Amino acid sequence: MKTHRILVRQGFLLRLGLVLGLALSGGAHADLKVFACEPEWGALASAIGGDKVSVYSATTAYQDPHRIEARPSLIARARGADLLVCTGAELEIGWLPVILADAGNRAIQTGQPGQFLAADFVTLLEKPTVLDRSAGDVHAAGNPHIQTDPRNFSRVGAALAARMAALDPGEAAHYRARWADFAARWQAAIARWDAQAAPLKGVPVVVQHDAFPYLERWLGLKRVAVLEAKPGVAPSLGQLAEVKARLTATPARMVLRAAYQPARPSAWIADQARLAQVVLPFTVGGDAQSTDLFGLFDSTVARLLAGLKP
C-alpha cells in the first residue's frame, strides 16, 4: 500500500512538472492584455484578437469620454496592460495622463510600442487656427470623434493589427488572418451602408455637440447649427432661442445628439423648431443594437433614416 501511494504521488508530481515546464517554456499562451479608452477601440481589438486577447474598456457609451475620473480601478487595469488603445488627439487629456503616471507601466507610456493612438492614423478635421481653452473643449490636433465614420476603422484597424502582431509575434499570423477577414466584411458593410444612406445626402441637421463632422462628411449631411455655443458647455436657454431663430431662415430636418449627452437641449429645439430628434449610439453599447461595430453603424444609419420620416 505504501509503495502504491509513493507511485501515485510520483505520478502526480511528474504531471505537475510537465504542466509547469510547458508554461515556463511558452507552451501556455498568455493573452495580450488590452486597455481600451473607448468602447469602439475595445471592440476593434477584440475583433482582431479574438481569443488571443483580453480587452478592458475604460469607458461606456453613456459616459462623456472627455470627462472621466481616473479611478484606482482604471489605474490598476492600466498597470497590467500590454497595449493601450485610445483615440488620442487630446480626447482623453483630462484623465489619461493621470492614469499613465500612476500606473507606472513603462510598456504603455508615450513613445512606447504598447501605446496606440487611433487618431495618428486618420486625417483629422476641424483643426483650430487659434487655440483658446476658454472657448470650451477645443483640441489642437483637430476634432477627435473619428469613430463616427466607418472608413476610419479600415485605416486604424490595419495599423492596430500590425501593432498587435509586433507585440505578440507568436500569434502574428492569427492577428493578420482575423484582420483580413474583418476588413473584407467591413468593406462589404460600408458599401451596404452607403447605398442605404443615399437619401441622407444634403439633409440639413442641427447637432447638440460638435461630435459628428466625420459622420457628416461620410454621409453628406449638411450641418446648419450647433446647440452648444462652446464645445462641451451646455447651451443656455438664450443660446437655444438664437438657434431657433436662425432655423427660421435656414431650416433643418433633424437634431442629432450622442447617447451619453443630456436630452433636454435637443428635445427643446426639436419641439420648438419641429425637428425630428435623433439619438445616435455614437459608440459600441450606445443602444441595444450596437453590440459590436457592425451593429453600431447598422443602428446609426437606421436611426438617421427614421429621422427623415414626417
**Which residue did the predictor score with more confidence, 17 or 97?**
97
> What is the pTM assigned to this prediction?
0.88
When mean pLDDT is compared across 13-27, 77-91, 229-243, the lowest value belongs to: 13-27
Q: Kindly state whether residues 173 and 219 are assigned to the same domain.
A: no
Residues 45 and 183 in one domain: yes
Instruction: Assess if residue 214 is contained within a domain.
Output: yes
221 part of a folded domain: yes
Q: Give the domain extent around 291.
A: 197-306
State whether 168 and 297 are in the same domain: no
Please indicate, yes or no, whether residues 51 and 162 belong to a single structural domain of this protein: yes
Q: Do 288 and 272 share a structural domain?
A: yes
pLDDT tens digit string along 93-102?
A: 999 999 999 9
Whether 184 and 98 share a structural domain: yes
Res 2: pLDDT: 41
**Is the confidence at residue 12, as pLDDT, over 70?**
no
Position 17 in a domain: no
| 3-state SS record for the chain | CHHHHHHHHHHHHHHHHHHHHHHHCCCCCCCEEEEECCHHHHHHHHHHHHHHEEEEECCCCCCCCCCCCCCHHHHHHHHCCCEEEECCCCCCCCCHHHHHHHHCCHHHCCCCCCEEEHHHHCCCCCCCCCCCHHHCCCCCCCCCCHHHCHHHHHHHHHHHHHHHHHHCHHHHHHHHHHHHHHHHHHHHHHHHHHHHCHHHCCCEEEECCCCCHHHHHHHCCEEEEECCCCCCCCCCHHHHHHHHHHHHHCCCCEEEEECCCCCHHHHHHHHHHCCEEEEECCCCCCCCCCCCHHHHHHHHHHHHHHCCCC
Q: How many domains does the chain have?
A: 2
Query: Is 38 in the same domain as 140?
Result: yes
CATH number, position 220:
3.40.50.1980
**What value does the mean pLDDT of the chain take?**
90
Shared domain check, 134 and 42: yes
Q: Is 27 a member of any domain?
A: no
Query: Residues 162-187: what's their mean pLDDT?
Result: 98
Q: Please indicate, yes or no, whether residues 256 and 147 belong to a single structural domain of this protein.
A: no
Mean pLDDT of 14-19: 37
